[in-house]
Amino acid sequence: MNGELQPVDFALEMAYLSNQEFDSMTDIRRLIEETPKTDSENTVSASTLHEQLAYHQGRHDLCMEMAGMVLGQSQYDPTEVNLKSDSQNETMSAERAQKLLSHIRNERIIDNLVRRHEVKQAVRTVLDSRGFIEVDTPILGSAMVEYTTDNFVVHGNAGEFYLPQSPQVYKQALVINSFARYFQFARCFRDERFDEPERTDQLHEFTQIDIEFRCDSDTELRNFAEEIVTDLFAQFGKECPKPFPVIDHQECIERYGTDKPDLRQSEDELAFLWVVNFPQFIRNEQGEIVATHHPFQMPNIDDIADIKDRTFEIGSSTFDLVLNGVEIGGGDMRINNAAIQRAVFDVLGLNSSQFGLLLESLKDGKAPKHGGMAIGLDRITMAITDTPSIKDVTAFNL
């Protein structure tokens, strides 16, 4: 790239910015263009430009790192642009701040956040008593397809990093190589387009109780999870009828028209349900082959060839835990065989090089059987506190 940077009709672009809602996102790269080199003093090298294009984008930040450079070369005087006054912008900012502060000052919200803290402490106690080790895994990592294809991107000079959809590969590597029983309160990020915007139980950023351990079957895994959940609810005066009913995924769809049915007979009832035996593969709305949960779930197969030859016929060890019509958790047995894992990647069209950490852990053929599940801390807290909105059991998420 060899030229000079200057605004693209800067007055027009700044007018565009002034009309954006407070707390919205904008790509600063839309504000510049390159013109042919005319003066060596006014040129920007490709490496400098690349570094300056390392921009940051978030709900609360619009980082205009290159704006000074752009304005320095511009023929426009930004003081002449007719924008909203500083007092107007300050008022908008104040309105947002007042809304957030009003929320966290509310006694009901304070009580919910205290209860959330107590839930986390109870989870730690329950899992610690059963030999689980809490390990924090990295937040920033390389691009990896797990639950969706949409990742939150964090740009940096040395490359791109991504906020995790889950710590899936890390936790499997830990259980295969280090700890028989692992957990953490995992922060997860999913850049999903919610099908039902009016829903009150979804966030792009959320916390899950992440559990992984060595076990022999999905039944063993579900029984353990059921024990943990009932123990946790009991500590807060909530009785959970046991055992939780179990229904096959296909039967659930045929009987209720959904894989998340609400089986309550009364408003104050806790109606848990295991939905099991999801298909291993499905097609998404774009016609692409995807795994029902993630690429690491163990398929129910007699022969590895079934993965390719009977792709849409084979089931999986995948299950969901549903409470009152809301999915509060899910899990499965994990693939512990490198050949099976590669065959699944091939069907999904995934590049195995993304998953070197996992494949290296599996390559000697000695990886123990293991499985895991994630339970939504936010949704569990909603159920324990009888709170209808996820925003009322989290801070600063209005």
Kindly report, residue by residue over 15-65, the tens digit of the pLDDT. Answer: 555 555 444 444 444 444 444 444 444 444 444 434 333 333 333 333 333
- C-alpha–C-alpha distance, residues 274 and 244, integer Å: 7
Question: Longest C-alpha distance within the chain, in Å?
Answer: 78
For residues 272 and 322, the answer to whether their CB atoms sit within 8 Å is yes
Which SS3 state, helix, strand or coil, does residue 134 take? strand
Instruction: Tell me the C-alpha distance between 335 and 338, whole Å.
Output: 8
Residues 6+ apart with CB under 8 A from 125: none
Domains contained in the chain, CATH given: 3-83 (no CATH), 116-393 (3.30.930.10)
pLDDT in tens, 67-111: 343 333 444 344 333 444 454 555 547 888 899 999 999 999 999
User: What secondary structure letter does DSSP report for 130?
Assistant: T
> Which burial class, exposed, middle or buried, applies to 387 when counting CB atoms under 10 A from its CB (0-12, 13-18, 19+)?
buried
The whole model's pTM is what?
0.72
The H or E element spanning position 315 is strand 315-316
Backbone Cα Rg of the chain: 25
Task: Work out the angle at residue 99's Cα, subtended by the Cα atoms of residues 25 and 61, and round it to the nearest 5 degrees.
Answer: 25
The pair of three-digit structure tokens given for residue 326, joined into one six-digit string = 């809301």
Pull the structure tokens for residue 68: 């000074």
For the segment 375-393, the average pLDDT, to the nearest whole number, is 95
> Which strand (E) or helix (H) includes residue 49?
helix 46-52
